[in-house]
Amino acid sequence: MRIALHSVLREGAEADYEREHETIPDDLAATFARIGIHAWTIWRSGRDLFHLVECDDYDAAVRALADDPANARWQAHIGRFVEGDIEPVRQVWTLPPHNA
């Protein structure tokens, strides 16, 4: 499945956020693989971040990440650059349509 997410950077954190994503910790990448997250892409427009996550089951992945030590360390580290929580984005349209 694919899910789109949105988050917002703190004012002035754009360069630091991008720099911190140049390398993702190996233990976090291993956690993603173990819980069925196959790809995670982030785009930035100003302070807005748009994420596309490809995974087996997003809700199950979120539950698994809640107690994961690697994710806790990453969130504590990267969270200082982000305002609020990451939120799902409603899909409006796709090409080709999935029901075609």
Q: What is the pLDDT of residue 99?
A: 67
Domains observed in the chain: 2-88 (3.30.70.100)
The string of DSSP codes covering 75-95 is HHHHGGGEEEEEEEE-----S
Please tell me the predicted confidence (pLDDT) of residue 32. 99
pLDDT for position 96: 86
Per-residue pLDDT, 84: 94
Question: What pLDDT is attached to residue 100?
Answer: 59
Which residues in the chain land under pLDDT 70? 98-100
pLDDT number for residue 68? 98
- Mapped onto helix, strand or coil, the DSSP state of residue 53 is strand
Write down the H helix ranges in 1-100.
14-20, 26-35, 58-66, 69-78
